[in-house]
Amino acid sequence: MLTELRVELAERSYPIRFGTQLAPTVAGQVEAWQAQGRKVAVVADVTVARLHAPWLEAAFPGCPVLTVPAGEGSKTVAGLGQVLEFLATQRLDRGAVVAAVGGGVIGDLVGFAAAAFLRGVDFVQVPTTLLAMVDSSVGGKTGINLAAGKNLAGAFHQPRAVYIDTGFLATLPQREFAAGAAEIVKYGLLGDAALYAELAARPLVEAGDVRTAAIVRQCCALKAAVVQEDERETKATGGRALLNLGHTFGHAVEQVTGYKRYLHGEAVGLGLAAAARLSERLGLLAAGEAERIETVVADHHLPVRLEPSLELPALMAAMQRDKKVRAGRLRFVVLAKIGDAQTKDDVEPCAVEAVWREVGAA
């Protein structure tokens, strides 16, 4: 059954289509574009291309496909260049459409390439991981990592459509599913206390859970509402920045470990534990609440401690290279209560250092 949710952004509005076995739906849209004289090219994660070759062939018949390695190693300047050269080699013009088929890395990389190629061509998102389905495929944030930090180069470039086929989750490794669950827990913490309570009572730990499709849609609706209110994260407080709950800590962990030890969602899970501890230390959450949040995170098979430990100076330095730094000050997302987050930019470094030590920094 095909259902739809719209992200309302005036002339940049677009649909998110949900279902299973969506290849014929995608193929119908591809055929319509081609009838208009528009070329369509595909960039896919090599693992997805191998596991889901029949889906790709059915959805994008006859379209050129570039496959790139899975993982953060592709989300680089070199990876961006590879995609741009592919688009140029296919002689795409400004009427072309590029499809990103894969997880968050592919969506971010291809979205940025689409924003840059010929100063901007259309693209569509076909997320294949839980994390990409509930978070990164929606909202138009695209980008790559630099040696200095996570997502330091990028652009806001909204997709023309997002196709969420939850059938892809059947082949998703358990570790990747858990990484996606981190973003779901995040949404409960920052804006949906009922969702968080449900996850606390009954963790979402496998794709076969009958709640999976509904929870994916629920998270997309939450993100769409935030993006519609603050598309380019320009609000002085709150707004789209709230979606970074756990990410300031998590991005530092990823950067210090060279994007090799933790999946993005695993680093976010650890970051949620750290953000909860910071919120409690600042007197926003009641005593003991951070520990209870850690239990929920851990119940979703996510880390809440650095193992092995990382050096505190390196983590603090990585935070200062975060793109959310303003006038030398970091903006943290903290919890006023479950389901209610806020931004805070007057956090003393000593409090942050104390939190890092609590989650295992040396």
Catalytic residues: 119, 141, 183, 223, 233, 240, 244, 247, 251, 264
Number of Cβ within a 10 Å radius of residue 21: 12
Rounded Cα distance, 225 and 238, in Å: 13
Beta strand spans in 75-148 (E): 97-102, 122-127, 141-146
Contact (CB, 8 A) for 247 and 256: no
Number of Cβ within a 10 Å radius of residue 309: 13
Q: Residue 144: what are its φ and ψ, rounded to 5°?
A: -135, 165
Q: Which helix (H) or strand (E) holds 307?
A: none
Number of Cβ within a 10 Å radius of residue 257: 15
Contact (CB, 8 A) for 37 and 95: yes
Spatial CB neighbours of 187, under 8 Å, sequence gap ≥ 6: 134, 195, 218, 219, 222, 223
CA proximity to 36, closest of 89, 85, 88, 94: 94
Q: Cα dihedral sign for 236, 120, 18, 178?
A: negative
- 3-state class (DSSP) for residue 225: helix
Q: Residue 14: what are its φ and ψ, rounded to 5°?
A: -160, 160
Q: Residue 260, exposed/middle/buried by CB under 10 A (0-12, 13-18, 19+)?
A: exposed
Rounded Cα distance, 60 and 87, in Å: 16
Spatial CB neighbours of 315, under 8 Å, sequence gap ≥ 6: 252, 253, 256, 356, 361
